[in-house]
C-alpha cells in the first residue's frame, strides 16, 4: 500500500499534467472562472434569467456559474493565485447572496435552430451553503421525503474552500456525531434511502455496517472543514 500522502501528490500531479497537456481543459477552466467572476455584474436573479410559463431560464449570453463550472474549478489548480482566489471567494459569496433564497431551478432555452425547448438544469446548490442549526438538521432528518437527508448530506460534502460560506453546518454534524445516536434519529425509510444514495458497505442488513456507512459519510463531509 502506498502512503496517503503519495496518493494525494499523485492525484495532484495528474491534474496538473492534464491542465498543461490539454488546451481544451485550460480553455474550459478559464471559461468556468469567467462565469464565476461574472456574478458581480448582477444585482438580482432577474438580471441574468427570465421567469417564463415553463419556469426560469437563463437569458441569452448570460454568464452564471453552474455545477459544472464550480466542479472544474475545484478540480484544477492552474488558475489559483492569491489574487484570483480572493476574487473567486468574493464572487462565490456574492453568488450565494443572490441565490440563497431562490427555490427554483434555472434551465437553458435552446435556440430555435437547435429545436427549441429547454435543457438542464446544471445549477450549483447555493442554498445548501446556508448553515443549519441543530433544529434545522432534525427537520431535514425527519422530513417526509425519505431521500431528503441523503441528498442534503451529499450537497454539503466536498464543498470547495472558495465556495464554502460557513463552518456552522459541519460543527452541528460533528456535534451530533459525537453524541453517538444519529443512526437512531433516522427512520427506517430514511436510513434505507441514505444507503441507496451514499452506502459503501456491501451488506446492508447488518446494523454495524449501516452505522459505519453513516459515520463515514458524516466524517467525510466534516473532515476537510474542521480537521
Which residues are bridge partners to 107 per DSSP?
A: 57
Which single residue is written with the C-alpha cell 447572496?
A: 97
Nearest-10 Cα torsion for 216, 165, 104, 158:
-30
Checking if the pLDDT of 151 tops 90, the result is yes
Q: What percent of the chain has pLDDT over 70?
A: 82
Distance CA 63, CA 70 (A): 13
* Bond from prior residue into 218 cis (ω within 30 degrees of 0): no
Residues 6+ apart with CB under 8 A from 119: 107, 108, 110
Shortest CA distance to 193 belongs to which of 138, 129, 153, 149? 149
15-56 pLDDT per residue, tens: 555 556 677 888 899 999 999 999 999 999 999 998 887 788
Confirm if 157 and 225 have CB atoms less than 8 A apart. no
What's the per-residue H, E or C state across the chain? CCCHHHHHHHHHHHHHHHHHHCHHHHHHHHHHHHHHHHHHHCCCHHHCEEEECCEEEECCCCCCCEHHHHHHHHHCCCCCCHHHHHHHHHHHHHHHHHHCCCCCCEEEECCHHHCCCEECCCECCHHHHCCCCHHHHHHHHCCCCCCHHHHHHHHCCCCCCCCCCCCHHHHHHHHHHHHCCHHHHCCHHHHHHHHHHHCCCCCCCCHHHHHHHHHHHHHHHHHHHHC
205: phi then psi, degrees, rounded to nearest 5? -85, -15
pLDDT score of 59: 87
Q: How many CB atoms lie within 10 A of CB 6?
A: 10
Q: Tell me the average pLDDT across 1-5.
A: 40
Looking at residue 121, what is its pLDDT?
64
Is 200 a residue whose pLDDT tops 80?
A: no
Domain ranges across the chain? 4-123, 131-226
> What is this structure's pTM?
0.81
Residue 122 is predicted with a pLDDT of 79
Which grid cell is 150?
A: 441523503
Residue 188: per-residue pLDDT = 85
Confidence of residue 224 (pLDDT cuts 50, 70, 90): confident
**Whether pLDDT at 14 is above 60:** no
Quick one: pLDDT band at residue 6, thresholds 50, 70, 90? very low
Give the mean model confidence (pLDDT) for residues 202-223: 80
pLDDT at 116: 64
C-alpha cell at 47: 438580471
pLDDT tops 90 at residue 72: yes
Q: Is the pLDDT of residue 7 over 50?
A: no
Amino acid at each position: 500500500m502506498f502512503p496517503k500522502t503519495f496518493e494525494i501528490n499523485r492525484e495532484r500531479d495528474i491534474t496538473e499534467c492534464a491542465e498543461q497537456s490539454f488546451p481544451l481543459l485550460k480553455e474550459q477552466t478559464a471559461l468556468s472562472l469567467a462565469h464565476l467572476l461574472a456574478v458581480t455584474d448582477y444585482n438580482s436573479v432577474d438580471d441574468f434569467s427570465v421567469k417564463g410559463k415553463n419556469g426560469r431560464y437563463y437569458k441569452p449570453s448570460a454568464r452564471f456559474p453552474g455545477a459544472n463550472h464550480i466542479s472544474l474549478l475545484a478540480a484544477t489548480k492552474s488558475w489559483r493565485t492569491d489574487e484570483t482566489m480572493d476574487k473567486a471567494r468574493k464572487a462565490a459569496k456574492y453568488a450565494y447572496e443572490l441565490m440563497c433564497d431562490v427555490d427554483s431551478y434555472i434551465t437553458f432555452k435552446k435556440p430555435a435552430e437547435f429545436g427549441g425547448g429547454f435543457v438542464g438544469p446544471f445549477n450549483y446548490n447555493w442554498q445548501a451553503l446556508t448553515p443549519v442549526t441543530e433544529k434545522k438538521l432534525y427537520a431535514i432528518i425527519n422530513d417526509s421525503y425519505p431521500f431528503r437527508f441523503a441528498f442534503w448530506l451529499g450537497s454539503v460534502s466536498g464543498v470547495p474552500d472558495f465556495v464554502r460560506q460557513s463552518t456552522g453546518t459541519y460543527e452541528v454534524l460533528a456535534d451530533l456525531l459525537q453524541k453517538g445516536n444519529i443512526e437512531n434519529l433516522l427512520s427506517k425509510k430514511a436510513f434505507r434511502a441514505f444507503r441507496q444514495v451514499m452506502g459503501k458497505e456491501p451488506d446492508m442488513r447488518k446494523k454495524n455496517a449501516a452505522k459505519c456507512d453513516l459515520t463515514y459519510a458524516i466524517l467525510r463531509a466534516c473532515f476537510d472543514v474542521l480537521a
